[in-house]
Amino acid sequence: MILLDTHIWLWWLLGDGALSEKERDALDQLAIKKLLALSWVSIWETEMLERKGRIELLPEFERWIAAARQPGMITILAADTDVVLAQRRLPEEFHNDPADRLITATSILSGYPLATHDGRIRDSAACELWKP
């Protein structure tokens, strides 16, 4: 199972962003095998991006998110108190973005490698990273 950071999930589904062809193909194969996971935080973060006009989801957020989170496509990891506690144990120098902290803590607790292009997360070495 691979945990997707919010931007990876959106780039993959929207067909834009900085995903390489190799990454996109690997994600497609993982989806077919039902080996993709997403933190609930990414759904919240996506709603905020859409509401602020930073991304456009058609036909509308509610229908887009219903299709994007189908169980046959991705496993949604629910809110969990243990994730909140785990993010408190991230390295002191880990940045303060709440979504990144919770997603990284989710990766650590679940044991799922994190697919991310976020340099701050990658440089922190706080969790295992996905290598396609």
Domain covering 2-124, topology: Rossmann fold (3.40.50)
Of 52, 44, 40, 49, nearest to 14 by C-alpha is: 49
What per-residue confidence (pLDDT) applies to 16? 87
pTM of the model: 0.95
DSSP 3-30: EEPHHHHHHHHHT-SS--HHHHHHHHHH
pLDDT in tens, 23-69: 999 999 999 999 999 999 999 999 999 999 999 999 999 999 999 99
